[in-house]
Amino acid sequence: MEEYLNKLNESQREAVEYNEGPSLVIAGAGSGKTRVLTYKIAYLVHLGLAPQSILALTFTNKAAREMKERIAAITGDQTARRLWMGTFHSIFSRILRYEAEHIGYPSNFTIYDTTDSKSLLKAIIKEMQLDDKVYRLGMVQSRISNAKNALVTWKAYEQSKELMQHDIDSKVPLLREIYKRYQNRCQQAGAMDFDDLLLQTNILFRDHPQVLEKYRSFFQFVLVDEYQDTNFAQHLIVQRLCEQHRRICVVGDDAQSIYSFRGANIDNILQFKNQYPGCRIFKLERNYRSTQNIVNAANSLIHKNKEQIHKNVYSEKEEGSKVRISASYSDYEEGYAVASAINELRLRKDYDYADFAILYRTNAQSRILEEALRKRGIPYKIYGGLSFYQRKEIKDIISYLRLIVNPHDEEAFKRVINYPSRGIGDTTVNKVISAATENNVSLWTVLNAPIDYALPINSGTAKKLTDFREMIERFIEQNTRLSAEEMAAIVVKESGIVSSLFQDRSVEGISKQENLQELLKGIAEFCELRREEGVEQVSLADFLSEVSLLTDQDNDKDEQANKVTMMTVHAAKGLEFKNVFVVGLEEELFPSSMSKDNPRAVEEERRLFYVAITRAEENCVLTYAKSRFRNGQSAMCSPSRFLKDIDVRFLDVPADSSADTFAAARERFQRPAFTSPFQQPRVVEKEEPSFISPVAQALQRQRLTKVETATSIPASSSAPASDLSGLRVGAKVRHDRFGEGEVIAIEGDGGNAKATVAFTHFGQKQLLLKFARLTII
């Protein structure tokens, strides 16, 4: 341990070793806050705390995964795997499954994603015959979400004079009724949306003191990263768990609070010391990530904010290049300028593609950048946007699987009742919905007793509904015996999805077929990896609970691949790259047009820009275009006010942008004849053969973030995945997912033989040889 603690500076080490009471680490970007948390967890385990009694909450699944890998490298994989580490949503959805009965939900509850919630709200707005231009879907959804994050249930909402008045003033007096119906329908469907996961945890802890007591004594130590971006619901969960034993450590940076639009409250971190009197506050000042010029440029920017805790952040790395500003005539040219700069930097300093990130304010900016990179042959990966699981054909199949696990799931039901087409039209479905709503039951319940619910349908329709119900019942029965991969294969065949998809020979149809195959392959890989860990029967529920919580950051198909990263600044929080391009630094875009008249919102945008710059280790380039194609037309733009906030001593500003060089550049980069991006042919690239399915990614994540190690080992005598007869301690091996490593122990024999392998990047893992995909090298 001493060897590891030596990798910390004095203040970091003090923060790691102080465990006599609550502590708060508040410090600037890149100063090692996440590192302190990681080492503290390893240190607590070293002191003898059981890993399963440590709860560590991160902002993204990716962050949890990375932290777990680092801890595994110090403590070994077995220990790291037992930690409770993940996002608030993933950890508390797991707890809610254990405790669901207390709050009137089934333990196999479905998690509705944003699309499901929107679809349900849309249906309700329609049923209530409200004007959807007044009751706009996005607005309704965010108002309900905000209410939930502030822990206002629909009942409380209804009773709040203030909220009712607010709704009347904003001309949406029936919002409370929508909220009520929405919540009832979710409950009928045995479904929780993302916000419910936090709200219901709070309700569980509030109304069931014995349950709260259990988790209070179970979680002996609670740690939270990025505390500045917690909302009230998250804050209260943490408080409930820790207010008695006070074994809590949170880390954050008020200057990086960028989620207030989702209810995050910077006061949570500012008030921490009042809430936990006597808490120790640690400040870290040295930035280990970036060169001096980058740190100084970022400091000079953030000092322009009025609301902030003053921090002294410095770097002892080399002075480095100044932060470069690059102006382009158009967004189109900006893309090319970035692509050229990447190539140039690579020539100059042998960087890998993975050393580059392009950060933008909005996802819509990615398209033109993508095109420029593609034309230059630069490989890239995009985070965010439409995830694999949101594609229609995938969501349809997943809906079948959801219905098997929870037949009351309304959104899944509506998606598949007539897919593939089986002659059950909207009119019939609407009749089922009306009967269900009137009687306060689920659609599935109505389907099971159409006569009891007086469903006004003819015998032909009744027969079709019965056939559908019997098919789902058959699946439900088979699901008690079969694994997730076997079930998925049966479902796509017997539901008619395969024949329907494979009839379509259009380019789009073929791509859907490929996606279907990809999904099946992914589920199979998921099962295989879980078997490697000793889980005998990998269930559909297992698989679904994993995929339903994938976030924007988990969409990437090839995390390890050597490619340029493209993502929004929000998604880049906590990450670092050698070279960072922040693009689109223009008024109305960054700061966003939505913030321009609101000084507090502008300060949040400035913090967002601070987050962007501080991701860079060696080179930071800020670009803006003088014209940009937005909302269907090309408009002139002016450089972002934020560029002027940075002290020029740390900047490399281009010569006057009206100079000839730009005229020449314009010639070179002139847009092609078709000026509308909507008219430009979009090159649809096929996935590369090395494509790792998102499901396989999920799997890898599962392995790294799973709370408990499964102990049951299958007794089957299937052949080893590869010939491992020559395997011995000291052998160098390669694993499909974990890369290279060295065997450090072998135990057991025959079907139970296990090897412990120290992987270079993933720490120690124990693998069951008959399943492990190892090759001796």
Residues making up the binding site: 27-34
Please select the residue that binds Mg ion; options are 51, 76, 574, 584, rule is CB under 5 A.
574
The residues facing 628 across adjacent strands are 635
Question: Is 8 near ligand ATP (CB under 6 A)?
Answer: yes
Q: Total residues at the site for ligand ATP (CB under 6 A)?
A: 19
58 binds Mg ion (CB under 5 A): no
Helices (H) and strands (E) counted in the chain, each on its own, are 32, 24
Of the pair 289, 381, the CB lying nearest Mg ion is at 289
Active site residue 196: no
113 is catalytic: no
- Partner interacting with residue 195 (select from ligand ATP, Mg ion, none; CB below 5-8 Å by kind): none
* Binding-site string for Mg ion from residue 1 to residue 40, where x marks contact by CB under 5 A and - marks none: --------------------------------xx------
Stretch 523-562: interaction string toward ligand ATP, x if CB under 6 A: ----------------------------------------
In angstroms, give the least distance from the CB of 575 to ligand ATP: 8
Q: Least separation, in Å, of the C-beta of 441 and Mg ion?
A: 47
In this structure, are strands 314-315 and 286-287 parallel, antiparallel, or unpaired?
A: parallel
- Identify whether 688 is a catalytic site residue: no
| Exposure class string for 534-573: b at 16+ Cβ within 10 A, else e | bbeebbbbbbbbbbbbbbbbbbbbebebebbbbbbbbbbb
Tell me the one-letter amino acid at 678.
F
Instruction: Pick the stretch among 1-9, 151-159, 434-442, 445-453 that binds ligand ATP (CB under 6 A).
Output: 1-9
**Alpha-helix runs per DSSP H in 588-734:** 599-613, 641-645, 660-669, 694-705
For ligand ATP, the binding residues in 589-628 under the rule CB under 6 A are 614
Rounded distance between C-alpha atoms, residue 538 and residue 531, angstroms: 7
> Among 82, 530, 615, 737, which one carries the catalytic annotation?
615
Q: Which is nearer to Mg ion, 320 or 574 (CB)?
A: 574
Side chain identity at residue 575, one-letter code: L
CA–CA dist 475, 470 (Å, integer)? 9
Could you tell me the smallest distance in angstroms from the CB atom of residue 30 to Mg ion?
Answer: 8
Question: Angle between the 292-302 and 599-613 helix axes, to the nearest 10 degrees?
Answer: 170
Among 7-15, 188-196, 310-318, 706-714, which window interacts with ligand ATP (CB under 6 A)?
A: 7-15
- Which of 16, 29, 339, 491 contacts ligand ATP by CB under 6 A? 29
Q: Which does 31 bind (CB under 5 to 8 A by kind): Mg ion, ligand ATP, none?
A: ligand ATP
Query: Which CB, 22 or 574, lies closer to Mg ion?
Result: 574
Q: Which is nearer to ligand ATP, 35 or 235 (CB)?
A: 35
The gap from C-alpha 605 to its chain's centroid, in whole angstroms, comes to 21
Give the 3-state DSSP-derived string for 145-210, with helices as H, strands as E and coil as C: HHHHHCCCCHHHHHHCHHHHHHHHHCCCCCHHHHHHHHHHHHHHCCEEEHHHHHHHHHHHHHHCHH
We find the least distance from the C-beta atom of residue 228 to ligand ATP, in angstroms, to be 10
Q: Which residue lies nearer to ligand ATP by CB, 288 or 353?
A: 288
Query: Looking at beta carbons only, is 96 or 571 nearer to ligand ATP?
Result: 571
Contact assessment for residue 606 and residue 305, using Cβ atoms and an 8 Å cutoff:
yes
3-state SS, 222-271, equals EEECCHHHCEHHHHHHHHHHHCCCCCEEEEECHHHCCCHHHCECCHHHHC
Q: Closest residue to Mg ion, Cβ-based?
A: 34
47-80 burial by CB neighbour count: b if 16+ within 10 A, else e? eebebbbbbbbbbbbbbbbbbbbbbbbbbbbebb
Q: Which of 32, 534, 584, 694 binds ligand ATP (CB under 6 A)?
A: 32
What does each C-alpha distance from 478 to 395, 475, 483, 539 come to in angstroms?
A: 21, 5, 9, 11
Stretch near ligand ATP under the rule CB under 6 A, chosen from 3-11, 308-316, 640-648, 696-704: 3-11
By C-alpha distance, which of 502, 490, 494, 486 is closest to 467?
Answer: 494
DSSP H/E element including 397: helix 392-405
Q: Are 637 and 586 in contact (CB under 8 A)?
A: yes
> Which of 256, 365, 428, 437 is the catalytic position?
256
List, as residue ranges, the binding site for ATP: 27-34
Please report how close the Cβ of residue 452 comes to ligand ATP at its closest, in angstroms.
Answer: 57
* Interface pick for ligand ATP out of 4, 18, 288, 351 (rule CB under 6 A): 288
Minimum gap (Å) between residue 673 Cβ and Mg ion: 47
The entry of Mg ion, ligand ATP, none that residue 14 binds, CB within 5 to 8 Å by partner kind:
none
CA–CA gap between residue 371 and residue 680 (Å, rounded): 10
| Residues in 256-285 that interact with ligand ATP by CB under 6 A | 256
Question: Which of Mg ion, ligand ATP, none does residue 644 bind to, with CB < 5 to 8 Å depending on kind?
Answer: none
Q: Which is nearer to Mg ion, 58 or 141 (CB)?
A: 58
Q: Is 512 annotated as catalytic?
A: no
The DSSP secondary-structure symbol of 353 reads G
- Residue 255 sits in the site that holds ligand ATP (CB under 6 A): no
Nearer to Mg ion, 29 or 724 (CB): 29
How far, in Å, CA of 517 to CA of 528, rounded? 16
Place of tokens 């020029």: 648
Residue 574 contacts ligand ATP per CB under 6 A = yes
Stretch that binds ligand ATP, among 2-10, 295-303, 661-669, 749-757 (CB under 6 A): 2-10
Among 69, 116, 225, 331, the one annotated catalytic: 225
- Contact in structure between 234 and 9 (CB atoms under 8 Å): no
For 377, other C-beta atoms within 10 Å of its C-beta total: 8
Q: What is the C-alpha separation between 267 and 344, in angstroms, rounded?
A: 44
CA-to-CA dists, residue 546 to 87, 278, 541, 554, 713, angstroms = 13, 39, 9, 11, 22
225 carries an active-site annotation: yes
Both structure tokens of 250? 């949170």
Q: Determine the interface stretch with ligand ATP among 22-30, 110-118, 328-336, 750-758 (rule: CB under 6 A).
A: 22-30
For residue 641, count CB atoms less than 10 angstroms from its CB and return exposed for 0-12, middle for 13-18, buried for 19 or more. Answer: middle
Report, in Å, the least distance between residue 651 CB and ligand ATP.
21
Q: 33, 361, 381, 737: which is the annotated catalytic residue?
A: 33
- Active-site annotation holds for 33: yes
With 0-12 / 13-18 / 19 or more C-beta atoms within 10 angstroms meaning exposed / middle / buried, residue 642 is buried
Piece of the chain touching Mg ion by CB under 5 A; list 184-192, 272-280, 573-581, 637-645:
573-581
Q: Which is nearer to Mg ion, 59 or 182 (CB)?
A: 59
Binding flag, residue 290, Mg ion (CB under 5 A): no
Contact (Cβ atoms closer than 8 angstroms) between residue 199 and residue 153: yes
> Measured from the CB atom, is 573 or 735 closer to ligand ATP?
573
Pick the piece of the chain touching ligand ATP (CB under 6 A) from 29-37, 317-325, 487-495, 674-682: 29-37
The option from Mg ion, ligand ATP, none interacting with 253 (CB < 5 to 8 A, set by class) reads ligand ATP
Helix (H, G, I), strand (E, B) or coil at 395: helix
Span from 8-16, 111-119, 339-347, 635-643 in contact with ligand ATP (CB under 6 A): 8-16
Exactly one of 226, 334, 409, 603 is catalytic; name it: 226
Nearest to 254 by CA among 232, 274, 231, 226: 226
Between 70 and 737, CB nearer to ligand ATP:
70
Q: What residues are annotated to the active site?
A: 33-34, 225-226, 256, 615
* Residue ranges that bind Mg ion, judged by CB under 5 A: 33-34, 574
* Residue ranges that bind ligand ATP, judged by CB under 6 A: 7-9, 12, 27, 29-35, 253, 256, 288-289, 574, 576, 614
